[in-house]
Amino acid sequence: MILIEDNRAPNPRRVRVFLAEKGIEIERRHLDIMVEEHKTPDMVKRNPFMRIPVLELDDGTCIAEAMAICRYFEALNPEPALFGNTPLEIGMIDMWQRRIELQLMHPIAFAFRHSHPRMAHLEVPQIKEWSEVNVGRIEAMLDFLNGELASRPFIAGDSFSVADIDALCAVDFMRVARVALKDEHTHLKRWHDQVSARPSAAA
């Protein structure tokens, strides 16, 4: 199997960090989305939505979407359980992973893609006002997460999970949207320092 990715993008990084936490190594192929290598006929066959990452299995089956790929590997390698073990853990992790994806990762992507000149050919139409709206959404979510992390060590509870992987990749990617953690985000900074120190964060 092979993981097709752009190693600069946050979504493929989510998968790489997940695999590193599992101790799984697979072949990887880098595509450059800035020159639209993800839109070639071969890639359209693999994923009609022309997004990466894509996991291509040995029989040619392709799994797209970062969390779908992570769930595939979780089923193959249940330990450590990054999607939870008990029904409550699974529900809480899914809830927080989805919140991070929708309320933080997406606004960061919108803020970046609708403001940076180099992204204009990938984001048509590019709407500056939509970028500005999403900067406010990012800042509101950071304030919210800081408050939540005052009472627990990780995003979804007492254990590191896929929700932390998503949040780490999102917070690290904020630099492209020119948003940063504030001094008053003490709990969020504590969390970020903690998860950034994990070996998997370098994946």
Q: Would the pTM of this model clear 0.85, i.e. be above it?
A: yes
Contact 17, 168 (CB under 8 A): yes
pLDDT value of residue 120: 83
Pick the CATH number of 2-76 from 3.30.365.10, 3.90.550.10, 3.90.870.10, 3.40.30.10: 3.40.30.10
Any idea where the domains of the chain sit in the sequence?
Answer: 2-76, 87-202
Write out pLDDT tens, residues 127-148.
Answer: 999 999 999 999 999 999 999 9
Q: Which residues contact 120 (CB under 8 A, 6 or more apart)?
A: 126
The proportion of the chain whose per-residue pLDDT surpasses 70, expressed as a percent, equals 100
Indicate the SS3 state at residue 80.
coil
Which of 26-40, 88-102, 108-122, 156-170 has the lowest average pLDDT? Answer: 108-122
Write out pLDDT tens, residues 12-33.
Answer: 999 999 999 999 999 999 999 9
Pick the CATH number of 87-202 from 3.90.320.10, 3.40.50.1110, 1.20.1050.10, 3.40.50.620: 1.20.1050.10
pLDDT band at 60 (very low <50, low <70, confident <90, very high): very high
Contact 85, 29 (CB under 8 A): no
Write out pLDDT tens, residues 168-192.
Answer: 999 999 998 899 999 999 999 999 9
pLDDT value of residue 116: 83
The pair phi, psi for residue 49, each rounded to 5°, is -85, -5
Give dist(CA 196, CA 110) in Å, integer: 24
